[in-house]
A and B are shown apart, each in its own frame.
Chain A
Amino acid sequence: AQTVTQSQPEMSVQEAETVTLSCTYDTSESDYYLFWYKQPPSRQMILVIRQEAYKQQNATENRFSVNFQKAAKSFSLKISDSQLGDAAMYFCAYRSAIFQGAQKLVFGQGTRLTINP
């Protein structure tokens, strides 16, 4: 079974600075997807960024980028120019690319990110 581990329960960063959230995962599959989701106090789960395992290029979405190290099974999220609106719980998630498990997300325990003004 796949597992996802986020070793940082809490992180804080000054507004406008850069922060990196860590995530490691374990799988025997070669094809899969990795995600970072953001859950603000409203509890609405919002997709931040997505990475396909077969793509070597790291995904980027505006101020958000990932460092995907497939051999090390590591998937970190970098937030540049942190803004107050980035404060939330961040979840790393794994999803298989095989048909049977295609919609099942395996989540890490989350990292609570605080932005200090």
Chain B
Amino acid sequence: KAGVTQTPRYLIKTRGQQVTLSCSPISGHRSVSWYQQTPGQGLQFLFEYFSETQRNKGNFPGRFSGRQFSNSRSEMNVSTLELGDSALYLCASSPRFVGDEQFFGPGTRLTVL
């Protein structure tokens, strides 16, 4: 069974632009979560989706948004990019919701110039 895939793996953008990152969960998994990893702030929760509904959201500005499609694939969008948005963005999937192990993807490295 294929693992969690994230595209693109690397991305370079300039300040003010917007970006969309994609996450394809393991086949059959319905829950997807997103995390931001930076050297300064560590790993921080962005949001989680289950059956196309956002179940929980972290403490990030409204520039960060996401969605989940009927096939469980998820996208996150960051508008009006700032230098501080440079980070590794990790996606994790799990079969259902409560209690299941989460499997992480390889991440998307975003650099904002």
Residues of A within 8 A of B (CB): 33, 37, 42-47, 50, 91, 97, 99-110
Residues of chain B contacted by A100 (CB below 8 angstroms): 55-56
B106-A109 in contact (CB<8A): no
A104-B33 in contact (CB<8A): yes
B56-A101 in contact (CB<8A): yes
For B, the interface residue count at a CB cutoff of 8 angstroms equals 25
Residues of B within 8 A of A (CB): 31, 33, 35, 42-45, 48, 50, 55-56, 58, 88, 90, 92, 94, 97-99, 101-104, 106-107
A110-B42 in contact (CB<8A): yes
Residues of chain A contacted by B103 (CB below 8 angstroms): 47
Residues of chain A contacted by B99 (CB below 8 angstroms): 33, 97, 102
User: How far, in Å, is B16 (CB) from chain A's closest CB?
Assistant: 27
A102-B97 in contact (CB<8A): yes
A104-B45 in contact (CB<8A): yes
Q: How far is the CA of A23 from the CA of B7 in the complex (A)?
A: 33
B107-A43 in contact (CB<8A): yes
